[in-house]
Amino acid sequence: MAKSKPAKPSRSAKPADLSAPQPYVVIIAGGKGERFWPQSRAARPKHLLPVVGETSLLAQTLERVRGVAPAKNTFVITSAVQAREVARVCRGLIPAANIVAEPAGRDTAAAVGLAAALVGARDPRGVFAVLPADHVIHDTAAYQSDLRAAFAAAGAADVMVTIGIAPTEPATGFGYIQRGGEWGRVGAGKVAKTVYEVKRFVEKPKADVAAEYLKSGDYVWNAGMFVWSVPVVEAAFAAHAPELDAGLAKIRAALKKKQALAAVLKKVYPTLVKISVDYALLEKSTNVVVVPSSFDWDDVGAWPAVAKHFAADAAGNVGRGEVIVEQGGGNLVFSEGGHLVTLLGVDGLVVVHTKDATLVMPKARAQDIKALLAKVALRKDAAKLL
């Protein structure tokens, strides 16, 4: 009997390797965004605002990962106070059940543990990305290409994959990742990417140190973008954060038994150790690799950073809403609700008008907004205004 020829692989629209795990994405949408006051409020922080573009930064993030992970595999972890507005933004983009509200903010390690539990309940070997909700990225194709490379690396080996942002200035506001040697290559042809070992994570540096980092070419910014498998994350928690892992185990157990998540979160979550995932896991792990980014990136840290995402007039003024600037330059003016904001003879100011509050400050003073908000907090109507 003649041996039958093996079937020729079909060129179907489905993924070639049906056994490869489907990617998951967990977006962490919990920031406070005080720096965008008065547009941002406790229940409406930066990622829920259209500070750049026509939709909120969270919606933009959800749109951007579409094509990498299906909507049903995309989760959003947010805070209780923001849950309602997050649900509104996510409507039609991901299933409502994929929005999980933290009963209390416990920093990023707990959020990553919760993310791993959510993905693990669907697929115990699932590979998932943890991504911030409040960054601005215009080059979606390059972003998706880098993200796919990170998924490929995390799917191929037991590594914690970071996406490191190519630094454009000696910033002192970000943590840095020092690259080591080449770890491997993922993808092929035009989308082939080199993945590097990580030598170390470093805290926000001083200006002179940041300048050295930039000069060396060995450092990238840590933007809080990670891709890894459920087992790798669980192993890291067990090895480096056993106390936190014990709490997370209760959440995993509840999800396994299909218990109501909200109830167990309410009980367990506030007891979790409050620590960043960088401190808790990444800085202590030796299996961390980095995919250098090829996309534009901006965390839009405060009002002045918004300006560069909009077309300015000849004098460098950026206006949004009903705005007139006469004899002044370099101003950023946002006005909501059809209210006319006029500037005469001023330069370099940020002026933001909302329905119930207006802010006027020099761009150079944007970092001091907390001192102003401390005064707003003393008002009887502070709860409404903050």
- H/E run at residue 50: none
Task: Name beta bridge partners: 193.
Answer: 186
Specify the length of the chain in residues.
386
Binding letters toward a second copy, positions 343-362, x by CB under 8 A: xxxx--x-x-x--xxxxxxx
Is the Cβ of residue 211 or residue 346 nearer to a second copy in the bound state?
Answer: 346
- Among residues 87, 121, 202, 372, which is the contact residue for a second copy, using CB under 8 A? 372
Min separation Cβ 36 and a second copy, Å = 14
User: Phi-psi category of 337—alpha, beta or left, where left has phi over 0 and alpha has psi -120 to 50?
Assistant: left
- H/E run at residue 164: strand 160-165
The rounded distance, in Å, linking the Cα atoms of 336 and 340 is 9
Binding letters toward a second copy, positions 268-307, x by CB under 8 A: ----------------------------------------
Min separation Cβ 325 and a second copy, Å = 9
Return the range that interacts with a second copy (CB under 8 A); candidates 191-199, 202-210, 312-320, 338-346: 338-346
Is the Cβ of residue 59 or residue 351 nearer to a second copy in the bound state?
Answer: 351
Q: Which two tokens stand for residue 20?
A: 């490869």
149 touches a second copy (CB under 8 A): no
| Residues in 9-48 at the binding interface with a second copy, rule: CB under 8 A | 38
Residues that contact a second copy, how many (by CB under 8 A): 34
375 touches a second copy (CB under 8 A): yes
Amino acid at 311: A
Residue with tokens 């805070």: 79
Residue 2, CB-side half-sphere exposure with 13 Å CA sphere: 3
Q: φ and ψ at 236, to 5 degrees?
A: -65, -45
Amino acid at 209: V
Is the Cβ of residue 63 or residue 326 nearer to a second copy in the bound state?
Answer: 326
User: Phi-psi category of 291—alpha, beta or left, where left has phi over 0 and alpha has psi -120 to 50?
Assistant: beta
314 touches a second copy (CB under 8 A): no
383 touches a second copy (CB under 8 A): no
Min separation Cβ 361 and a second copy, Å = 4
Radius of gyration of the chain (CA): 23
For residue 139, give the DSSP letter. Answer: -
365 touches a second copy (CB under 8 A): yes
Residues that bind a second copy (CB under 8 A): 38, 324, 326-327, 335, 338-346, 349, 351, 353, 356-362, 364-365, 368-369, 371-372, 375-376, 379, 385
